[in-house]
Structure 1
Amino acid sequence: MGDKPIWEQTGSSFIRHSCQLFGNDRTQLGTVYIDASGLTWEGQQFQGEAAIVEKLSSLPFQKIQHSITAQDHQPRPESCILSMVVGQLKADEDPIMGFHRMFLLKNINDAWVCANDILRLALHNFRLPPPSQAVLLFPPPPSSRCCSHSSRPPNSIHKEQDRGGAGAVRCSVLCMMFGRWTSYI
């Protein structure tokens, strides 16, 4: 860690410390925020140390584990460090969730505090849904057809005997998934 720039060392140490406090005793998070700090938690904004600690302490889980996938840090003017964190959270018995978190750290009287904190959970599921659900996710325009090789409406699935064989089935799924009503074959 000694060969990294000081802002990376400081940012990494802050993230490690913040995750430990968050996992062990969220009421102690007041030590990293100040009255001028701001938190945006899933779009909800909180201003000041007391409001931030109240929000974080009231989250509806007892235990949480962090797994940091990546973190990036940049030095900023006015003795600040911008830190971006990507990782996964495991709260109680809930499924693992991805998260993105951004911190703006500020050095005030030789102590690093969090001036701004933004968190978003990565709740998007990028697995391809079954074809029966794909049309619901990506409804086609009313006058469209699925593919250039089919006269069927886009909400129908090609059958194996259709032109294109098994490829046509795959084509229909792709067409419904990506909202493109042209041939992929």
Structure 2
Amino acid sequence: MTEAVCWGGRRRRMDEVAALSASLIENSITTSSSSSSSSSLFDNFPLISAILAFALAQSTKLFTNWYKERRWDAKQLIGSGGMPSSHSATVTALATAVGLQDGFGGSMFATAMILACVVMYDASGVRLQAGRQAEVLNQIVFELPEVHPLAETRPLREVLGHTPPQVIAGGLLGVVTSTIVYLIEKVISQA
């Protein structure tokens, strides 16, 4: 009789464990399906930070160009080059946001950080030198006689890259932008 009581107790506990497991699995499936359906592109903190930093950098170029040349140039909103570097702002905002969201010790942050370094190096190195070469080539073409076949060539774009201060300013803008977006998101999620 004691074996039957013991077995009955074990069976009850096994039934309770099975019911609890089934309940946990059901809750897990419900939670994961509702969270995946409720997340959207607008909830992607790193993406929002990067896009916002890009928009801020491009908008700032409009004002820095006005300050420098005393004229409004709407082309600055879509052009490359100038102060601050929108490339640097975008990639540093992305890297900072990934670090704040997933941690600075993970592989996602490492990938974003290496991408940021390559883009910023390229902006202040290769692209800057290509722009300077375009200046020289444009000057050479400008000095050609009118009868020369290349005299009517359309000028090359000279503003392609960024100076180191422009890259640093863009990088700082990206870090500040993603940090502010992160703090705002935190305040909203706690409300």
Please say whether Structure 1 and Structure 2 have the same fold, judged by a TM-score greater than 0.5: no
TM bracket (short chain): under 0.3
Larger gyration radius, structure 1 or structure 2:
2
Query: If each structure's helix is expressed as a fraction of its own residues, which one has the higher value?
Result: 2
Query: If each structure's strand is expressed as a fraction of its own residues, which one has the higher value?
Result: 1
